[in-house]
Amino acid sequence: QVQLVESGGGLVQPGGSLRLSCAASGSDFTIFVMAWYRQAPEKQRELVARITHIGSTAYADSVKGRFTISRDNAKDAVFLQMNSLKVEDTAVYYCNLDTSRGMYWGQGTQVTVSS
């Protein structure tokens, strides 16, 4: 079994920054792709950013140039640096790991961008 623990959400003003973290724990697994998704009220969950085990990244058009995904393979952790936040970035953010033992989701962390 793989367990994920997220942290770093909160309330921030437009134009501000937040850094999300997600750490995986467990045994005997290999992480292939790490990703962040988000779900705003009454909207479908959407992919924000993803990073492969060799560091290739992809971003949703809406966050390109503002968000940066990174990973620490030694710590089985993934991060999302969010800059120039907008009101429309408000959502619950979930980390997602595609591993040799299956796909896992974090519990979600609320990000609220408001003045």
| Predicted pLDDT of residue 41 | 92
| Predicted pLDDT of residue 39 | 98
Q: Please give the chain's pLDDT, 115 residues, in tens.
A: 889 999 999 999 999 999 999 999 887 888 899 999 999 999 999 999 999 999 999 999 999 999 999 999 899 999 999 999 999 999 999 999 999 989 999 999 999 999 9
| Predicted pLDDT of residue 28 | 82
The count of C-alpha atoms lying within 13 angstroms of the C-alpha of 114, restricted to the half-sphere facing its C-beta, is 7
| Predicted pLDDT of residue 27 | 75
Closest residue by Cα to residue 19 from 11, 8, 29, 28:
8
Kindly report the number of other CB atoms within 10 A of residue 10's CB atom: 13
